[in-house]
Chains A and B, each alone.
Chain A
């Protein structure tokens, strides 16, 4: 008989990953080049196309030079202070990162629990899913003060609800949705024949969940987790701003934005800090992805 055995080509996978990193750096440079080109040729005070005010202003206040933004990192945060701004931004990013991590964890656990519940009971799916969709249309800014005031009144066995936890909960509120929806699709993805096979082994529902449904759901859950990771960051940053929580990158963005007229490059340092935060979060998920999908057929890994 013809026994063709294919072995996974790990070297080419590594090369592909390397190429992706290079492409990422190149695209960053490209964005910087486009930015500077527009700044050079664009109208300083904005412009109209067919009577519509579409072209953004390109003066130094609205669009500082790329090198100004970068060099701003080395300067102190405030005149007279000795701390360089990169340390402030990094400290803020680290603070928000920990909050986002907690939010990501809350969102993932909640999302998976909801997905399991919906996969187990068709009634639950019909009853819960519409509310999940509706929940995501509630503006986070409206929800933030509510969560803070609820949290402020909570005290569980002498443990007081810390202020930062409200921001994490709001991050989790954005993060749980993709996990719940992706998880539901993943948990219900095994073909009928596989479910029948588990039944023929007299496997319990929990056994089927852990031996069949969860492993089948991994290719669906991982992209959902990537979304959840960046959602958690957005949730935490927005929550920091709208609840006035100090110490995080959200707070820095709003503070620096106020100084935009006198120090336009400053706010960009914080914005890039937030972007770095999101990238780091999805980077961790990607590492988890590579680990979990190491033995899967190549078509399944994207």
Chain B
């Protein structure tokens, strides 16, 4: 069974009004369990919208989505996925451990079990010494790691990430990419990852979904053929560069068609 099935999905904002936007049309995507898939494209291509449809934070206008064989709503209620955003979104008034415990608290776990899981998650993201610190005492990269730990706290099979490293500097970013992959290897999670960065998408993903705007749609799916475990050495690998080139070309095609369409519109 695939982890996520997206069939013929369309999303229109402000239906019927003058500022109606076709955010997504005819999106088909099937994501296998344990797969790492990135969504990439210029702003307005609907990649974040697609992620929110899977998360059931938005309802599709047309088409069907299945998450672990269930409706997205059921999957959300069952906490089948964890989510991380560009802003870590940690609560200032909660300690690091308490932030990670939040989803468990909402599910009604008892205190001891919650704490145990939070410590386990903090060890996973290598922040075990910071359990009692407060988010504003941590650096941006550390905050983002806490946010990932929080997303993983319910042991979800599916991880939805919306530019989680977008606000980090390049060094921290590459480090976090490595951390994320090693976490995924250990947990076997399926990941849908929205990003603006081509190298990031290629380095992390099994497949890179290239999207284009007006209307938002999938233009190409690039398979990344990097052999074996990805390490820092992967960044010098020929297959890595081949992947980058392929994604870049697919994105260039997007810009070209957008340009041509622009002329036709006049």
Q: Is B139 an interface residue (CB 8 A)?
A: yes
Contact A197-B93, Cβ < 8 Å, known A1-B172, A295-B134, A297-B136: no
Stretch of A3-11, A67-75, A170-178 with 4 or more beta carbons under 8 angstroms from chain B: A3-11
Smallest CB gap from A218: residue in B: B93
Contacts of B88-115 to chain A: CB distance below 8 A: 89, 91-95, 102-103, 105-106
Contacts of B58-84 to chain A: CB distance below 8 A: 76-77, 79, 81, 83
Contact (Cβ within 8 A) B57 A193: no
Contact (Cβ within 8 A) A300 B106: no
Q: Is B238 an interface residue (CB 8 A)?
A: no
Smallest CB gap from A215: residue in B: B93
Residues of B within 8 A of A207 (CB): 106
Smallest CB gap from A8: residue in B: B137
Contact (Cβ within 8 A) B106 A1: no
Inter-chain CA distance A156–B223, complex, in Å, is 76
Contact (Cβ within 8 A) A1 B138: no
Contacts of A190-204 to chain B: CB distance below 8 A: 191, 193-194, 196-203
Contact (Cβ within 8 A) A1 B92: no
Q: Is A48 an interface residue (CB 8 A)?
A: no
Inter-chain CA distance A199–B137, complex, in Å, is 27
Contact (Cβ within 8 A) A197 B83: yes
Partner of A2, one of B89, B92, B139: B139
Contact (Cβ within 8 A) B171 A1: yes
Task: List the count of A-B residue pairs having beta carbons below 8 Å apart.
Answer: 72
Contacts of A250-302 to chain B: CB distance below 8 A: 295-297, 300
Contacts of B7-53 to chain A: CB distance below 8 A: 52
Contact A1-B137, Cβ < 8 Å, known A202-B76, A211-B106: no
Contact (Cβ within 8 A) B139 A1: yes
**Shortest distance between the CB of B38 and any CB in chain A (Å):** 20
Smallest CB gap from A6: residue in B: B137
Q: Is A212 an interface residue (CB 8 A)?
A: yes
Q: How many residues of chain B have a CB within 8 Å of chain A?
A: 32
Residues of B within 8 A of A211 (CB): 91, 102, 105-106
Contact (Cβ within 8 A) B79 A4: no
Inter-chain CA distance A215–B134, complex, in Å, is 15
Inter-chain CA distance A3–B129, complex, in Å, is 12
Contact (Cβ within 8 A) B57 A200: yes
Contact A197-B89, Cβ < 8 Å, known A1-B172, A3-B139, A295-B134: yes
Contact (Cβ within 8 A) A201 B92: no
Residues of A within 8 A of B177 (CB): none
Contact A203-B106, Cβ < 8 Å, known A3-B142, A4-B139: yes
3 nearest CB pairs, A to B: A297-B136, A215-B93, A200-B83
CB<8 Å pairs between A and B, sample of 24: A1-B139, A1-B171, A1-B172, A3-B139, A3-B141, A4-B139, A5-B133, A191-B89, A193-B85, A193-B87, A196-B52, A196-B85, A197-B83, A198-B106, A200-B55, A200-B83, A201-B79, A211-B106, A212-B91, A215-B93, A218-B93, A295-B93, A296-B93, A297-B92
Excluding A1-B172, A297-B136, 19 further A-B contacts by CB distance (< 8 Å) are A1-B139, A1-B141, A2-B141, A3-B142, A5-B130, A5-B139, A6-B137, A194-B89, A194-B91, A196-B57, A200-B76, A200-B81, A200-B83, A202-B77, A211-B102, A212-B91, A215-B94, A296-B92, A300-B92
